[in-house]
Amino acid sequence: MKLEFKNLKELHEYYAVHNNCKLKDVATQPVYEIDPPKEGIVLIGEAPGKNEDLQGRPFVGAAGKFLNDLLDHVGLQREDIYVSNVVKYRPPANRDPQEEEKDACRVWLNAELLYIKPRIIVTLGRHALSRFVPDANISSCHGNVFMHKSRIPVFAMFHPAAALYNPNLKETMFKDMEKLVDYLKKLPAIEEKEEAINDLLKL
Protein backbone atom coordinates (compact mmCIF):
# COMPACT_ATOMS: atom_id res chain seq x y z
CA MET A 1 0.00 0.00 0.00
CA LYS A 2 1.44 3.36 -1.02
CA LEU A 3 0.79 6.05 1.56
CA GLU A 4 -0.08 9.54 0.35
CA PHE A 5 0.33 12.59 2.56
CA LYS A 6 -1.06 16.09 1.98
CA ASN A 7 1.88 17.70 3.72
CA LEU A 8 4.81 16.98 6.03
CA LYS A 9 2.76 17.57 9.16
CA GLU A 10 0.38 14.80 8.16
CA LEU A 11 3.32 12.52 7.33
CA HIS A 12 4.93 13.10 10.73
CA GLU A 13 1.67 12.61 12.59
CA TYR A 14 1.23 9.27 10.85
CA TYR A 15 4.74 8.01 11.68
CA ALA A 16 4.57 9.35 15.23
CA VAL A 17 1.83 6.76 15.75
CA HIS A 18 3.17 4.04 13.42
CA ASN A 19 6.65 3.46 14.78
CA ASN A 20 7.97 1.19 17.48
CA CYS A 21 10.94 3.22 18.68
CA LYS A 22 11.31 2.49 22.40
CA LEU A 23 12.52 6.04 23.03
CA LYS A 24 8.97 7.31 22.64
CA ASP A 25 8.24 6.01 26.15
CA VAL A 26 10.89 8.26 27.69
CA ALA A 27 10.93 11.32 25.37
CA THR A 28 8.58 14.28 25.74
CA GLN A 29 7.51 14.18 22.08
CA PRO A 30 8.80 13.37 18.58
CA VAL A 31 10.95 16.07 17.00
CA TYR A 32 10.41 17.16 13.39
CA GLU A 33 10.13 20.04 10.99
CA ILE A 34 6.99 20.65 8.92
CA ASP A 35 8.07 23.06 6.20
CA PRO A 36 9.76 21.70 3.06
CA PRO A 37 13.08 23.36 2.15
CA LYS A 38 13.00 26.20 -0.38
CA GLU A 39 16.36 25.13 -1.83
CA GLY A 40 15.86 21.34 -1.69
CA ILE A 41 18.65 20.86 0.86
CA VAL A 42 18.08 18.27 3.59
CA LEU A 43 20.42 18.08 6.58
CA ILE A 44 20.29 15.00 8.79
CA GLY A 45 21.54 14.98 12.37
CA GLU A 46 21.69 12.28 14.99
CA ALA A 47 18.92 12.60 17.56
CA PRO A 48 17.20 15.45 19.41
CA GLY A 49 18.71 16.95 22.56
CA LYS A 50 17.02 18.52 25.57
CA ASN A 51 15.77 21.75 23.94
CA GLU A 52 14.55 19.91 20.87
CA ASP A 53 12.69 17.41 23.06
CA LEU A 54 10.94 20.27 24.86
CA GLN A 55 10.09 22.29 21.74
CA GLY A 56 9.42 19.44 19.28
CA ARG A 57 11.66 21.05 16.64
CA PRO A 58 15.16 19.98 15.50
CA PHE A 59 18.36 21.94 16.13
CA VAL A 60 16.93 24.69 18.35
CA GLY A 61 19.60 24.39 21.09
CA ALA A 62 23.33 25.17 21.17
CA ALA A 63 24.15 22.91 18.19
CA GLY A 64 21.30 24.57 16.29
CA LYS A 65 22.74 27.99 17.02
CA PHE A 66 26.06 26.95 15.52
CA LEU A 67 24.23 25.39 12.57
CA ASN A 68 22.61 28.79 11.98
CA ASP A 69 26.09 30.41 12.01
CA LEU A 70 27.26 27.88 9.41
CA LEU A 71 24.28 28.65 7.18
CA ASP A 72 24.74 32.37 7.65
CA HIS A 73 28.39 32.03 6.59
CA VAL A 74 27.26 30.96 3.08
CA GLY A 75 24.13 33.11 2.85
CA LEU A 76 21.60 30.36 3.52
CA GLN A 77 18.54 30.73 5.76
CA ARG A 78 16.85 28.06 7.86
CA GLU A 79 13.85 28.10 5.48
CA ASP A 80 16.15 27.18 2.55
CA ILE A 81 16.97 23.90 4.25
CA TYR A 82 15.11 21.12 6.06
CA VAL A 83 16.63 19.43 9.08
CA SER A 84 15.81 15.97 10.30
CA ASN A 85 17.39 13.35 12.50
CA VAL A 86 18.19 9.65 12.19
CA VAL A 87 16.22 9.14 15.41
CA LYS A 88 13.14 11.24 16.13
CA TYR A 89 13.12 10.98 19.93
CA ARG A 90 15.65 12.18 22.51
CA PRO A 91 17.79 9.37 23.93
CA PRO A 92 18.07 9.58 27.75
CA ALA A 93 20.89 11.92 28.87
CA ASN A 94 21.77 12.48 25.18
CA ARG A 95 23.45 9.09 24.86
CA ASP A 96 24.20 7.76 21.36
CA PRO A 97 21.17 6.29 19.60
CA GLN A 98 21.24 2.48 19.52
CA GLU A 99 20.96 0.36 16.36
CA GLU A 100 17.42 -0.77 17.15
CA GLU A 101 16.32 2.85 17.73
CA LYS A 102 17.82 3.89 14.40
CA ASP A 103 16.12 0.95 12.69
CA ALA A 104 12.77 1.80 14.27
CA CYS A 105 12.92 5.33 12.81
CA ARG A 106 14.28 4.25 9.43
CA VAL A 107 11.04 4.15 7.42
CA TRP A 108 10.04 7.53 8.90
CA LEU A 109 13.19 9.19 7.54
CA ASN A 110 12.75 7.37 4.22
CA ALA A 111 9.20 8.71 3.98
CA GLU A 112 10.40 12.28 4.62
CA LEU A 113 13.00 11.96 1.87
CA LEU A 114 10.51 10.46 -0.55
CA TYR A 115 8.13 13.31 0.16
CA ILE A 116 10.74 16.09 -0.13
CA LYS A 117 12.86 14.63 -2.95
CA PRO A 118 15.94 16.60 -1.96
CA ARG A 119 18.56 17.91 -4.38
CA ILE A 120 21.17 16.98 -1.82
CA ILE A 121 21.40 15.24 1.56
CA VAL A 122 23.91 16.66 4.04
CA THR A 123 24.82 14.23 6.80
CA LEU A 124 25.78 15.79 10.13
CA GLY A 125 28.01 13.40 12.06
CA ARG A 126 28.75 9.70 11.87
CA HIS A 127 25.28 8.30 12.59
CA ALA A 128 23.71 10.06 9.61
CA LEU A 129 26.75 9.37 7.40
CA SER A 130 26.69 5.62 8.03
CA ARG A 131 22.98 5.55 7.18
CA PHE A 132 23.81 6.57 3.58
CA VAL A 133 27.49 5.67 3.17
CA PRO A 134 28.10 2.50 5.22
CA ASP A 135 31.64 2.03 6.59
CA ALA A 136 32.58 5.64 5.85
CA ASN A 137 34.77 7.40 8.38
CA ILE A 138 33.69 10.95 9.17
CA SER A 139 37.24 12.20 9.82
CA SER A 140 38.38 11.31 6.31
CA CYS A 141 35.04 11.77 4.49
CA HIS A 142 33.87 15.19 5.67
CA GLY A 143 33.70 17.81 2.93
CA ASN A 144 33.20 15.14 0.25
CA VAL A 145 30.25 14.11 -1.90
CA PHE A 146 29.10 10.51 -2.29
CA MET A 147 26.61 9.48 -4.94
CA HIS A 148 23.89 7.43 -3.26
CA LYS A 149 22.24 4.65 -5.27
CA SER A 150 19.11 6.85 -5.39
CA ARG A 151 21.36 9.28 -7.33
CA ILE A 152 20.87 11.87 -4.63
CA PRO A 153 24.28 13.26 -3.71
CA VAL A 154 25.26 12.91 -0.07
CA PHE A 155 27.60 15.53 1.39
CA ALA A 156 29.38 14.56 4.62
CA MET A 157 29.92 17.04 7.45
CA PHE A 158 30.89 16.85 11.09
CA HIS A 159 28.07 17.26 13.57
CA PRO A 160 27.75 20.92 14.74
CA ALA A 161 27.90 19.74 18.37
CA ALA A 162 31.38 18.31 17.70
CA ALA A 163 32.64 21.85 17.07
CA LEU A 164 31.20 22.97 20.40
CA TYR A 165 33.37 20.40 22.18
CA ASN A 166 36.35 20.93 19.88
CA PRO A 167 36.44 24.56 18.66
CA ASN A 168 39.31 23.70 16.27
CA LEU A 169 36.66 22.03 14.12
CA LYS A 170 34.76 25.28 13.56
CA GLU A 171 37.08 26.49 10.81
CA THR A 172 36.88 23.08 9.09
CA MET A 173 33.09 23.21 9.21
CA PHE A 174 32.92 26.72 7.75
CA LYS A 175 35.21 25.52 4.92
CA ASP A 176 33.02 22.45 4.34
CA MET A 177 29.96 24.71 4.08
CA GLU A 178 31.73 26.68 1.37
CA LYS A 179 32.47 23.41 -0.48
CA LEU A 180 28.80 22.42 -0.15
CA VAL A 181 27.62 25.67 -1.70
CA ASP A 182 30.16 25.39 -4.54
CA TYR A 183 28.86 21.90 -5.25
CA LEU A 184 25.24 23.07 -5.13
CA LYS A 185 25.94 25.66 -7.81
CA LYS A 186 26.75 22.80 -10.20
CA LEU A 187 23.62 20.78 -9.40
CA PRO A 188 20.47 20.95 -11.55
CA ALA A 189 17.58 23.04 -10.24
CA ILE A 190 14.90 21.25 -8.20
CA GLU A 191 12.36 21.02 -11.07
CA GLU A 192 14.83 19.40 -13.49
CA LYS A 193 15.81 16.86 -10.90
CA GLU A 194 12.32 15.88 -9.79
CA GLU A 195 11.54 13.44 -12.59
CA ALA A 196 14.78 11.49 -12.20
CA ILE A 197 14.36 11.27 -8.46
CA ASN A 198 10.79 10.00 -8.78
CA ASP A 199 12.07 6.99 -10.68
CA LEU A 200 15.15 6.35 -8.66
CA LEU A 201 14.44 7.04 -5.04
CA LYS A 202 14.71 3.65 -3.38
CA LEU A 203 16.43 4.42 -0.13
Q: Which residues bind ligand URA (CB under 6 A)?
A: 31, 45-49, 52, 58-59, 63, 85, 161
**Cβ nearer to ligand URA, comparing 117 with 126:** 126
**Cβ nearer to ligand URA, comparing 52 with 112:** 52
User: E strands within the chain?
Assistant: 41-45, 81-85, 120-124, 145-147, 153-157
**Cβ nearer to ligand URA, comparing 29 with 196:** 29
Q: Among all residues, whose Cβ is closest to ligand URA?
A: 45
In order of 8, 12, 79, 108, the CA distances from 5 in angstroms are 7, 9, 21, 13
Please name the residues in contact with 58: beta carbons below 8 A apart, sequence gap of 6 or more: 31, 32, 33, 45, 48, 52, 64, 83, 84, 85
CB of 186 to ligand URA, least distance (A): 28
CB of 178 to ligand URA, least distance (A): 22
CB of 202 to ligand URA, least distance (A): 25
* Amino acid occupying residue 72: D
CB–CB of 78/71 below 8 Å?
A: yes
**Cβ nearer to ligand URA, comparing 66 with 193:** 66
* Amino acid occupying residue 8: L
CB of 189 to ligand URA, least distance (A): 28
